[in-house]
Amino acid sequence: MSYTLKDVFYLGATHEYPHGTYGSAGVEGVIPIDISAYVQSVARGKQRGQGLAIYKVHCQMAGDTMGGMPIATDAGAATFGLTVKPYTTTGDGVTSIGAGDLTPESDLAVYLASYIAPASRAPGYGGGSAVEESLTPSKDVPYVCVRDTIFQAFVTSVAMSSADSFHISYRLECAMVTLDTATLNQLLRTQTA
């Protein structure tokens, strides 16, 4: 399961979190990313199971669909990331995210980060717009997904200003990996909420 250039490919996803929906603190969004083409969670005959190993996640918080930086008057803050928790209710403005889902203690979290928009930062704290990561997979210890879906999870902690939306884009460095039955079964048990 080592990181080799010839096996790695990239998957990307993006979603706009509109101010009209996320104009209050505590508003959640859960957006599915279908990865069923890359996983085989049932070993059949001599065919072994297959998982999607995620080695690295790149993330951008943008102020528009072109990837432009949020402007100084943008307000809002959020915690967000990627998880394999099997949410049954998805979309913008849902109430699906449970306690601990967006913390590093979650076995189902693949990548987690937070963001504070420039206008919501404390004076003297800085005016930048960088994403602050709290959990990432690595080339040495990738997160191996064996479920059909990864979810983009998002929750506001400070309301977005009335004219601003957050645009979050992800790029995943991945490889399909063959799994023996014992490893596959362990991952299936771990990735069940």
Full-model pTM: 0.89
Residue-wise pLDDT for 85-94, tens only, equals: 999 999 999 9
Given a cut of 50, the residues of the chain with pLDDT beneath it are none
Tokens read off for 157: 């902690």
